[in-house]
Chains A and B, each alone.
Chain A
Amino acid sequence: MRYIKDSLLQVFGYKIPRPSKDQQSPEVRAIYESKMGKLSKADLEALHIEHKGTTFFKKWQKRRWATLIIVNLLFVASFYFDVQLVEGSLTGARVVGFHFADLNAALQVALAYKHIVLNLVIGMVTVFIMWMLLGGRTFCSWVCPYHLLSEVAEYLHLWLAKKKIIKNRTFSRKVRSVFYVIFALLALVTGYTVFETISPTGILSRALIYGPGIALVWVGFLLLFEVFYSRRAWCRYVCPIGVTYGMVGVFSPVRVKYNAEACHHEGDCRKVCLVPHVLDLTIRNGAAEVNQDVASDCTRCGMCVDICPTDSLTFEVKGLSKMLK
């Protein structure tokens, strides 16, 4: 219950309060008290190198990029070679004949059109179950083509910021829920799927499959905004698709698990994270239990799992992990 409540709060832009001392379990208190000294920077660097090596592409990132590219190429290839494998685009598709509908796009249509046909319901339920099992915002980091471009833009942004050429500006995260409500209301009131006009996910997916168009200029503008003004701004502060799947992911068994025991609280995970607020529990005294799951706003991208020098963050599948052990 607490996981669900905290997850929803985070999805809508609220900060989860840190647990007070009496909310923490005695075990986790003992761990925090035993780790009084701080690690030196040199110690940490040595740990990193020993742990992961210095390769640019890490394990989960490699897997994720491969998955993202393959999924999108499947759409392209299905149309190009006319093999009816994954027809349509990311807003609505048929996968070997079965209806799949992006939940946010379907919601926009349902609110604007005010009717809903059975095929769309089937598509929504299928996609809901799929992402509920796979992790909700897993869609963002493992499928959404904008995420990949934005990730590249992020490297540029970080490099420029490191050179002190630019400065990162942050926004209040609550603006995401404002956007979510505004776009839902706009669809309902105007009768047009207003968000689809500017959704880089839909634009990119269609551009890949049906050929590029002028709409890519908008996507380019968003990327420039992220490079020069605010890191990952679209995904962090605007995109209602992320909010939708964030809610779906509340019920997901696929999560990132945090174990406080060996954690150095050095914050490397929060530096690479798209949604660093979900990792607030890795701050010293941030966790209430020794083992705690990262809330559902997490995109399950695995960057933190890759970077963590002590394996304190790992992927888990609730239920399955126990069965496997």
Chain B
Amino acid sequence: MSEKKSVSKRKKRPLTPKRKEQSRREFLRASVLTVGVVGVSLMGYIPVMQGKTLSLRPPGALKTPEDEQEFFASCIKCGQCVQVCPVEAIKLADLPDGFGIGLPYIDAREQACDFSCDGLQCVLACPTGALTHDLDYPADTRMGFARLSRPKACLAMQGKGFKGQARGPDYEGLLRYEEVDRWNPIPVADYPYDLEICDLCVRQCPIEIRITQCEENASDNDQQQLARVAQQMGNECPPKHAITLEPVDLGDGVKRMKPVVQEGCVGCGVCEMICPVESAAIVIDLDKNADTVMEG
């Protein structure tokens, strides 16, 4: 490529035929190497193009429901977000994700983000702003949007209650139950339920839990204390409900309830995680979020 450029101003000694042949071979090999290595690296675009890399990303990820390119570009693939997450919800993608290798994602069914760090630790840990610092509270995040995908399987829709461990005794996922431990999440398996009608997706929704806390604090009628509590806990009151349980009447006399996803849903995935039905009756859609739902 740069045969013309001569490094020294002195006259170069003419190469012997052997040396000439060697440098010709070196050049050829280098060309093949370039095509090979660049080709392999560009194969990383295939899974991205096919849309196979779309995943639930940690709070604040720079993305729109359709396009994750900005997130791919800005993430330095260091995994600091993985390290700070108290429920270990964040994992790093592997080679099948191509360009997405090393990018953080969340498998909600296995372990969702329940915001039990309070302060969005992953966002604070991110060194490149791939998880944008414009975010202050869980209610500000836009990870996805929940949808009751299998209403017939939903226990509440069948009018059924739920008793026992939400995901069975072998499930390793964690959630924070503030009445058990304010600071540390505990295994879901250690917290059995006994519900007349199953409302786990509503009951465990981090946004709903916060709204309840805010309402309780507000009813204390001590505005000063409320301000202090909000400051200390770092969880500004969510402005909108995320999910509610509403009665449905199918005309058969059975008392049925339906989980209805509301505009305040951030798509954290706790509902998908806690749903005791196999597979989950409620899932997170990645192709929309609270903003696009409101616009649409």
Contact = CB atoms under 8 A, between A and B. Distances in A.
A93 B41 contact: no
Nearest to B7: A14
A88 B80 contact: yes
A238 B37 contact: yes
Contact of A192 (B23, B48, B91, B133): B48
28 contacts: A87-B125, A88-B79, A89-B78, A91-B78, A91-B102, A92-B77, A92-B78, A101-B128, A109-B74, A117-B128, A117-B129, A120-B127, A120-B129, A170-B26, A175-B34, A178-B34, A179-B34, A179-B38, A182-B38, A192-B69, A193-B75, A193-B76, A193-B99, A195-B41, A210-B91, A210-B92, A215-B95, A237-B30
Sort A-B residue pairs by CB-CB distance and give the 7 closest, nearest first.
A92-B78, A17-B8, A112-B73, A175-B30, A197-B44, A213-B94, A215-B95
Interface in B70-89: 70, 72-80, 82-84
Contacts of B40: 198, 218
Given A99-B127, A113-B74, A191-B73, A87 B102 contact: no
Contacts of B227: none
Contacts of B30: 171-172, 174-175, 178, 237
Interface residues of A, number: 62
Contact of B94 (A170, A209, A214): A214
A119 B38 contact: no
Contacts of A172: 23, 26-27, 29-30
Given A17-B8, A196-B102, A88 B83 contact: yes
Given A170-B26, A192-B44, A210-B79, A178 B1 contact: yes
Of B2, B26, B45, B74, the most chain A CB neighbours within 10 A belong to: B74
Contacts of B83: 78-79, 87-88
A202 interface: yes
A257 B98 CA distance: 43
B45 A190 contact: yes
A202 B94 CA distance: 12
B101 interface: yes
Contacts of B92: 206, 210
B10 interface: yes
A260 interface: no
A40 interface: no
Interface in A166-195: 169-172, 174-175, 178-179, 182-183, 186, 190-195
A129 B91 CA distance: 32
B44 A171 contact: no
B29 A169 contact: yes
A109 B73 contact: yes
A105 interface: yes
A193 B34 contact: no
Nearest to A99: B127
Contacts of B247: none
Given A170-B29, A194-B44, A213-B94, 9 more contacts: A78-B83, A87-B84, A88-B79, A91-B77, A101-B76, A113-B74, A192-B72, A193-B99, A196-B102
B230 interface: no
Interface residues of B, number: 48
B73 A113 contact: yes
B172 to A, nearest CB: 15
A16 interface: yes
B127 A202 contact: no
A106 B91 CA distance: 21
Interface string A203-218: 1001001100111011
A109 B128 contact: yes
A215 B94 CA distance: 6
A17 B73 contact: no
Contacts of B78: 88-89, 91-93, 105
B99 A192 contact: yes
A225 B198 CA distance: 58
B7 A106 contact: no
Nearest to B37: A238
B101 A215 contact: yes
A183 B133 CA distance: 28
B44 to A, nearest CB: 4
Contact of B33 (A79, A115, A175): A175
A29 to B, nearest CB: 18
Given A105-B76, A206-B102, A210-B92, A197 B41 contact: yes
Contacts of A218: 40, 95
A171 B26 CA distance: 4
Contacts of B44: 192, 194, 197-198
Nearest to B93: A213
B51 interface: no
Contacts of B1: 174, 178
A102 to B, nearest CB: 8
A94 interface: yes
Give the residue among B27, B37, B42, B45 with the most A Cβ atoms within 10 A. B37
Given A202-B102, A214-B94, A174 B41 contact: no
B239 interface: no
B101 A196 contact: yes
A20 interface: yes
A175 B31 CA distance: 8
Contacts of B2: 174
Interface string B41-54: 11011001000000
A290 interface: no
A317 interface: no
